[in-house]
Structure 1
């Protein structure tokens, strides 16, 4: 029974890793696409009334927050795509190294 638990934990960790890297890549790339098409980025900001609001920020409206959001979303996209590529290479390496099937 302990062997099955180990197998299930490793499969769960693998699937969770794929989900996390795909989510990171999707968030980063979708925000970069928004920037390319509209020129604005979506950010969560706290107002003077201490409520948090999602708002679109352009370079003309708030240059400091725009540049910081662009940097963060760029790093998130690069990290997500890099982790996805590394996992694809690990799968490819495992697939090429698998033992030959007996006939």
Structure 2
């Protein structure tokens, strides 16, 4: 999540990392002011080997496994990882959810 934010946020951009607690979950969000995620790519972001943007290659865009692995880790711990775009400025938003230990 953070590596993607660093790669897609311009030099003058901003990356915000937040930690929130709800009754049932701990939520970790990474929000950037980059170009955001194409709506056509959003449904496939966590698909193994999917890299979006056709111009990407292994040198500039990774192997397409990082988000898949990250989501599987959160799922294995009873949580989830979701992606969207920020409503007001369009940058990417990745939010990870982990259940609180005392939640049932």
User: Which TM-score applies when normalising by structure 2?
Assistant: 0.27
Specify which structure has the higher proportion of helix: 1
Specify which structure has the higher proportion of strand: 2
- Higher Rg: 1
User: Which TM-score applies when normalising by structure 1?
Assistant: 0.27
